Chain A
Amino acid sequence: MIDFNSVTTAIDRFLNSVLPHQAATLVECLIIAVCAIVAYLTFAIVMIYMERKVCAAFQCRVGPDRVGKWGLLQVFSDVFKMLTKEIIELCSSDKILYTLAPFLVIMSSIITFSCLPFDNGLQVLDFNIGIFFIMAASSFGILGILLGGWSSNNKFSMIGAMRSGGQMISYELSMGLSVLTLVVLSGTMQISDLVEEQTKGWFIFRGHIPAFIAFIIYIISGNAETNRAPFDLPEAESELTAGFHTEYSGMGFGLFYVAEFMNMFIIAGIATTIFLGGWAPFTIPGADAFNSAMFMIPGFVWFLGKTFFVIWLLMWIRWTFPRLRIDQVLVLEWKYMVPIGLLNLLIMTICVVMGWTF
């Protein structure tokens, strides 16, 4: 198993020898920031391309294939066009909040993005309350959407913002419950320990039934958290033209568009971390020969493979179901997801206390 800790400590030692301590940490922070943002944008581009190709595959058509070899350069041309579009300043909107909104959404998704365990040492933030921090960081993204909707002084975006507020805040609850169930199983909240624990066996297998139910609840509430169909009420095309980002043009809209895709990547990343064992390879307790073969494959390949499988699952759900109405969204949350989540938490604690987990 390649351990990136050695690589990072080597860089740290080299920098400290050359520069004074403060300068070394500053340079390290700069390197990490640049790597995080570059990784963030490349994943965004890969995600947009994957979304358009997978959506086309589900709809028996071909998707972008004229720009570049199989349409690979399509998203780059989208990025160039988005950068060169004029940003319209609205005469009667709340200027400060209007420009602040996209950055709030982007900031919340970059912070949560950097908590994901790509490989053994490749993790930017690793607090001992890791999962709890992710929950907190991902929830102030809602602020951005609410501000964006309210400040653009457009009645449709106002309705879209109110809908998104109601929906995302209530689905934080069931997402928190399903994560709590897994924390009960694993016993720790630190992400690296969580994944370390799963090298012996993924939690979704070790936690058998309650873990699987938690996984289903997590996928549904993750879908609602990122405003994707069948919960895409805030930017429901056919009802509110373009929902909360109706008045945004150029890069303002570009930030919302990228943040939506990256939130989906983060939800899939967290699902892989706590359910499917992050960068931990697939191991069967008995067969050591098989396990050692599995350990040959590097960690981040495991992590990205599983994440993109979960993303494919989310896209499958998006391109099949019609949209829910706002009262059905809330009824589903408060009457079905929260009770089942609480019951599941109870079952999991009983299993852990009695030791029935693998």
Chain B
Amino acid sequence: MEVNFIDIKDFRETMLAHRRKGMDFLRELIGMDWQDDGLGAIYMLENSSTHENIEVAVRTLDRERPQLPSVSDIWMVAELYEREVYDFYGIEFTGHHDLRRLYLRNDWVGFPLRKDYDASEELNPVRMESEPVEEFQREYDIQDDREMAEIVEKLKILHYDQYVVNIGPQHPATHGVLHFHLSLEGEEVRKVDIRCGYIHRGIEKLCESRTYPQILPFTDRLDYLSAHQNRHALCMCIENAMEIGVSDRVQYIRTIMDELQRIDSHLLMYSCMAMDMGAITGFIYGFREREKILDIMEEVTGGRLIQNYYVIGGVQADITPGFAKKVKEYCNDQKIRIKEYYDLFVNNVIFRNRSIGVGVLSREDAISFGATGGTGRASGWACDVRKRHPYAMYGKVDFKEIVHTGGDCYTRLIVRLEEILESIGIIEQLIDNIPEGDYKTKTKPIIKLPEGRFSASVEGSRGEFGVFIESRGDKMPYRLKFRPTGLPLLAAAHKIMKGCKIADLITIGASLDYVIPDIDR
């Protein structure tokens, strides 16, 4: 993958030109520290209709106050992406209206992902008092004459005399440790300020000091409900970079395992949505089926939730003899059980009243926010990576991509439940004719990627999961970036949740189905 650099002067014009040419999907924004070549950022753009993509980059040599023009007014998701790059690299984006640290605390010293960052304990000890929430948005805008942009503190985030409530880090319905900072008017939500970072583990910094086989376990712990797909993306990226051939048997096994993991994740999405809306019985029925998948996974891979199954060049161990029979048995049983979910919860009049027309995300917003996966397909945008850039066996298997145009919470759940049936269809086409062959190709003990930049993307359970590696030829990556499937959903949530009720806020959060460790990495 080659990247063409643009000079900083005419960066915004070329970006606006790309946008007018139809590049309306900003796939990824990767902050980079090329040490003596300065700090910069790589933008991966894609045309949502022709699926043609370009990689563009820009850099600045100044290391004390690096400044790049912001594109958050062109693509709405760039607002959060740029806050992340500011958090990790200290690059200030001029024209961004709310540039605060996204993950780390405001009193954090230094920018972690820079190569010259010193991670000593004294500099950043474990501070035991919660930090007061900042009051002002910080905006960098260039006054006409001066060269450097100044920090202008303008809009107040949450006013003191509003009824400010923390749906805080520890809350039963935030699917993890996400912090909604709301100002309420009765039951109406006036203003939402989503703060994440409570589960930021610095995985990308750790990856820069680990060999490639040691990076593989991190992908399972990013979005643990699409563990197989994440690992598939990383293995595919490394295998393409080193041209390691992978046998057909492995492609079959990997596709089947990806689809099983997708069903498992959609079942959990249905269960958590039922629990968040008060139907605990719906949650228990969803988990009853999910346990059957976890049994199949455990027999073959050894792990229920975190499987560690794919390795570079194949899979850890061959599938057990009874695997095909168990999977077919499960698929038939699931087709009957799914009708039960419709009767109990989905066609229930209370659920329909609480979810139809709630949290509507239009198609343009979905694309501009880059909300891929079930959320994007529920708003009418055909963004399935298995169709856009087919990989593994997806090119040879015929399956329907489910796209609805409702865009509200109800449609998002319907898309997931129908995708379960689609995935069962894929598995049934593959399960009977797994070819013979070795399950792992021999690889050298020390794996060194050649010089250059490589990327691969895969359809995770809740969106497009991408891996970008910049390698300088040694056994550790120079820079490794995972595309978070959840961060665009959070950006979309920021917009949808304004003006809804508290109960709707929980429903929207459940229907967007984001996984927080995948957002915070």
Q: Which residues of A does B touch, CB under 8 Å?
A: 58-61, 155-156, 159, 229-230, 232, 236-241, 319-328
Chain B residues near A326 (CB-CB < 8 A): 187, 501, 503
Cβ contact within 8 Å between B279 and A320: yes
Answer whether residue B268 sits at the interface, using C-beta atoms and an 8 A cutoff.
Answer: no
Q: Which of A229, A240, A321 has the most CB of B within 10 A?
A: A321
Give 10 pairs: A residue, B residue, CB < 8 Å, sorted on A. A232-B278, A237-B172, A238-B276, A319-B281, A321-B348, A322-B345, A322-B350, A323-B277, A323-B279, A324-B354
Cβ contact within 8 Å between A322 and B282: yes
Q: Which residues of B does A touch, CB under 8 Å?
A: 163, 165, 171-173, 184, 187, 274-282, 284-285, 288, 344-345, 348, 350-351, 353-354, 501-504, 506
Interface of B is mostly: helix
Cβ contact within 8 Å between B279 and A238: no
Chain B residues near A155 (CB-CB < 8 A): 163, 165
Within the complex, what minimum Cβ distance (angstroms) separates B454 from chain A?
A: 42
Chain A residues near B171 (CB-CB < 8 A): 241
User: Assuming A239-B506, A326-B187, is B278 touching A59 (CB within 8 A)?
Assistant: no
Within the complex, what minimum Cβ distance (angstroms) separates A31 from chain B?
A: 42
Within the complex, what minimum Cβ distance (angstroms) separates A332 from chain B?
A: 10
User: Assuming A60-B284, A319-B281, is B503 touching A325 (CB within 8 A)?
Assistant: yes
Chain A residues near B344 (CB-CB < 8 A): 320
Distance between Cα atoms of A81 and B53 in the complex (Å): 62
Chain B residues near A159 (CB-CB < 8 A): 165, 184, 187, 502
Q: Which of A60, A236, A238, A326 has the most CB of B within 10 A?
A: A238
| A325 (CB) vs chain B CBs: closest residue | B503
User: Assuming A238-B278, A320-B279, A321-B279, is B284 touching A59 (CB within 8 A)?
Assistant: yes
| A56 (CB) vs chain B CBs: closest residue | B284
- A-B Cβ contacts below 8 A, count: 76
Q: Which of A60, A238, A322, A328 has the most CB of B within 10 A?
A: A322
Distance between Cα atoms of A76 and B421 in the complex (Å): 47
Chain A residues near B274 (CB-CB < 8 A): 322
Chain A residues near B279 (CB-CB < 8 A): 320-323
Within the complex, what minimum Cβ distance (angstroms) separates B190 from chain A?
A: 14
| B505 (CB) vs chain A CBs: closest residue | A239
Cβ contact within 8 Å between B504 and A320: no
Cβ contact within 8 Å between A230 and B350: yes
Distance between Cα atoms of A58 and B280 in the complex (Å): 10
Chain B residues near A236 (CB-CB < 8 A): 278, 503
Cβ contact within 8 Å between B506 and A238: yes
Chain A residues near B277 (CB-CB < 8 A): 238, 322-323
| A61 (CB) vs chain B CBs: closest residue | B284
Chain A residues near B187 (CB-CB < 8 A): 159, 326-327
User: Assuming A320-B344, A326-B187, is B275 touching A238 (CB within 8 A)?
Assistant: yes
Name the contact of B502 in the complex, choosing from A58, A239, A328 (C-beta under 8 A).
Answer: A239
Name the contact of B280 in the complex, choosing from A59, A240, A241 (C-beta under 8 A).
Answer: A59
Distance between Cα atoms of A238 and B510 in the complex (Å): 11
Distance between Cα atoms of A328 and B353 in the complex (Å): 8
Chain A residues near B163 (CB-CB < 8 A): 155
| B355 (CB) vs chain A CBs: closest residue | A322
Cβ contact within 8 Å between B281 and A59: yes
What 5 additional pairs, Cβ within 8 angstroms, besides A159-B165, A323-B279?
Answer: A230-B278, A232-B278, A319-B280, A321-B348, A328-B350
Distance between Cα atoms of A320 and B350 in the complex (Å): 11
Chain A residues near B280 (CB-CB < 8 A): 59, 319
Distance between Cα atoms of A61 and B285 in the complex (Å): 10
Q: Which 4 A-B pairs have the closest CB atoms?
A: A323-B278, A322-B279, A59-B284, A322-B277
